[in-house]
Amino acid sequence: MNKVGFFKSIQFKVVLIYALLILLAMQLIGVYFTDRVKTITLDSFEKSLENQSQLIAWNVGETIRETQESNAEDPNHITDQIQNQLLELDNNIREIEVIDENGVIVAADEKHSNVIGKKTTNRLIIQNLSSNVTNKYRRTDHNNGERVDIVTTPVKVDNRHFGVLYVEKSFESVYEQLQRINQILATATVFALVVTAVLGFFLARNITRPLVQMQRQVLAVSQGNFSRNVKGTESDEIGQLAASFNNMTMKLREANATTESERRKLKSVLTYMTDGVIATDRKGNVILMNNRAEQLLNVYRQDVTGNSILDLLRIRGEHKIMDLYELNDSIVLDFSTDDETILLRANFSVVKKDNGLANGLIAVIHDVTEQEQVDMERREFVANVSHELRTPLTTMKSYLEALQDGAVEDAALAKKFLGVTQHETERMIRLVNDLLQLSRLGSKDQKLRLERTDYVLFCGSIIDRFEMSKKQNIDFVRQFPKGSFYVQIDRDKLTQVIDNIISNAMKYSPEGGIITIRITRRGRNIRTMIKDQGVGIPKENLPKIFNRFYRVDRARSRKLGGTGLGLAIAKEMIEAQGGEIWAESDWNRGTTIYFVLPLDRRDL
């Protein structure tokens, strides 16, 4: 926030308004006062001149009467008497003349004495020669612009009209006096403005100090600092405003702390959610996504923020933004690659404003790869079981129908058909037993009977049994370590595992083949390798051989009597005893099965 200059500050504005109000008041007072003084002074001046003129006219009349009584009305003597009287008058009188009723100037002031005895040419005098009242006039001298006041007063002698007295007096002195008064008022106004500005400055400073503190507090609050407070002020409106401002700051601090706490909780929830969360604006552009969403979609939020969610989820060709606002069901997204299957499920919810208008979308992304694969495996498992059961049942039905149709009469043929039926029945029994065993292995109630066993001797006894009962020309090669290695195992279940693996190796090994069994220690585990020289397994099929009912060559496996569950059972049993099993193979190069088991802790 930029610092406010003095001439833009509220302090300057308060001082300026205060000064302008004082100036306006002084001007109004000055105008009214000057006008009244002018009016009163001019009226007083005129009244004084009128009274003076009337007094002079009376004196002139008395002088004429006395002169007439003593000198038999000698005109020259009358003029001298009047002239002497006029010389004693106020020097401020600009011009004074006494004119008789014939318009002849009888007497005049010293400056105009040269017109005595002449007939007047003054229009105002001629106009008022016969007037019995005093007349007043104002005019401006055209030569020097001097403003004068003129009074014509009738002169009477024994109530007989003699003539008129003409008095002309300048009132420039009055205007000079008024100008001095105006100068005094202007000086007083300037002085008042200076005093007002100084007092206004301190007054405004006292008023604006809490406002300045509130401005600084607002700046601090905007920067996240809620520790500042406006210092105590008077208990007036500004003081109450400051107290309210401090209270608001405290509420903001509490609200910000609550918001920050909720934000941290929300961030923690979003960060550690096992589901991906994506938020968009009203147009469907990404504005937020959590770490899990980055992992599931294999993107960086910095790269996709601002992009359309249709492009992010790769559904632009199938959906539009408005479709997502109205979508009630979830959609499945296929992000699979050549090396990995990735299936995601997206659920959308609409974010609305207080007025109910849509303001964006929240997309929750779930990884349903395993679930979809489980569903697919379940469907495939049901199909496989149905297929495996249908084949022997169909065979049995055919042979039983043949027996029913008369084949039973042929003893040799009936014996053959019954033998096939018995064989298929045993095959179904083995299949059901294997399924039950898998079901028990997957059950949490399945309990293992672990025994401390010398593993080398244990494996040796199993191979001895195979060597004694084998019907094929197959050799067993033992690569056993010296000494004893003890493990905690369920002997029956592990015997079944090794039996299944060796039986498979013998089924697919050619005449004269070799089956190699190698036992080695690997750290805290003991590893077993069973390798044959059979047809092998293609690399693309190798990851699936531990799936239930999976066969590389279905026709040959069924011919050899396999159910496709042996390796699946082996995998469940090995993992149940804390081990791990895997296979290595290539087509026409034999197959190698590995599994590891943990050694007994007492021997570590």
DSSP string covering 116-152, please? Answer: TTSBP--HHHHHTTT--S-EEEEEE-TTT--EEEEEE
pLDDT in tens, 387-434: 666 767 777 788 788 878 777 777 787 788 788 788 778 767 766 776
pLDDT for 448 equals 72
Higher pLDDT: 237 or 60? It is 60
The model carries a pTM of 0.41
pLDDT for 74 equals 59
Listing DSSP states for 355-394 in one string gives: TS-EEEEEEEEEE-HHHHHHHHHHHHHHHHHHHHHHHHHH
pLDDT for 62 equals 78
Helix 237-272 and helix 172-222, axial crossing angle in degrees, nearest 10: 30
Higher pLDDT: 5 or 544? It is 544
Q: Which of 311, 262, 259 is nearest to 285 (CA)?
A: 311
Is pLDDT above 70 for 574? yes
Q: How far is CA 407 from CA 402, 414, 415, 421, in A?
A: 6, 6, 10, 14
Beta strand 286-289 pairing with 276-280: antiparallel
CATH of domain 273-367: 3.30.450.20
Is pLDDT above 50 for 141? yes
pLDDT for 603 equals 67
pLDDT for 534 equals 84
Domain with residues 10-177, CATH architecture? 2-Layer Sandwich (3.30)
Mean pLDDT of 58-82: 70
d(CA 133, CA 155): 10
The residues, ordered by sequence, that sit 6+ positions from 211 with a Cβ below 8 Å of its Cβ are 10, 238
Mean pLDDT of 181-197: 82
pLDDT in tens, 299-340: 888 888 889 988 888 888 888 888 888 888 888 888 887 777
The alpha carbon dihedral of 20, 25, 30, 31 has a sign of positive
**pLDDT class of 560 with cuts at 50, 70, 90:** very low
Per cent of the chain over pLDDT 70 is 84
pLDDT for 1 equals 47
d(CA 213, CA 26): 35
Domain 373-442 classification at class level: mainly alpha
The residues, ordered by sequence, that sit 6+ positions from 578 with a Cβ below 8 Å of its Cβ are 597, 598
Is pLDDT above 90 for 596? yes
Looking at residue 530, its amino acid is: I
Is pLDDT above 70 for 218? yes
Say if CB 147 and CB 172 are below 8 A apart. yes
pLDDT for 383 equals 67
Domain segments of the chain: what residues? 10-177, 273-367, 373-442, 451-603
Q: How far apart are the first and last CA of the chain?
A: 72
Listing DSSP states for 218-253 in one string gives: HHHHHTT-----PPP--SSHHHHHHHHHHHHHHHHH
**pLDDT class of 40 with cuts at 50, 70, 90:** confident
**pLDDT class of 385 with cuts at 50, 70, 90:** low
pLDDT in tens, 411-422: 787 788 788 788
**pLDDT class of 94 with cuts at 50, 70, 90:** confident
Is pLDDT above 50 for 474? yes
**pLDDT class of 368 with cuts at 50, 70, 90:** confident
Q: How buried is 2 (Cβ within 10 angstroms: 0-12 exposed, 13-18 middle, 19+ buried)?
A: exposed
d(CA 126, CA 476): 170
Is pLDDT above 80 for 257? yes
Give backbone dihedrals phi and psi of 374, rounded to 5 degrees, phi first.
Answer: -65, -45
Beta strand 451-454 pairing with 135-140: unpaired
Q: Yes or no: is domain 451-603 CATH 3.30.565.10?
A: yes
d(CA 135, CA 124): 10
The residues, ordered by sequence, that sit 6+ positions from 267 with a Cβ below 8 Å of its Cβ are none
Mean pLDDT of 67-73: 63
**pLDDT class of 234 with cuts at 50, 70, 90:** low
Domains 373-442 and 451-603 share a fold: no
Q: Quote the mean pLDDT of the chain.
A: 79
Provide the 10 A C-beta neighbour count for residue 215: 15
Is pLDDT above 70 for 29? yes
Give backbone dihedrals phi and psi of 134, rounded to 5 degrees, phi first.
Answer: -80, 135
160 beta partners: 157
pLDDT for 517 equals 92
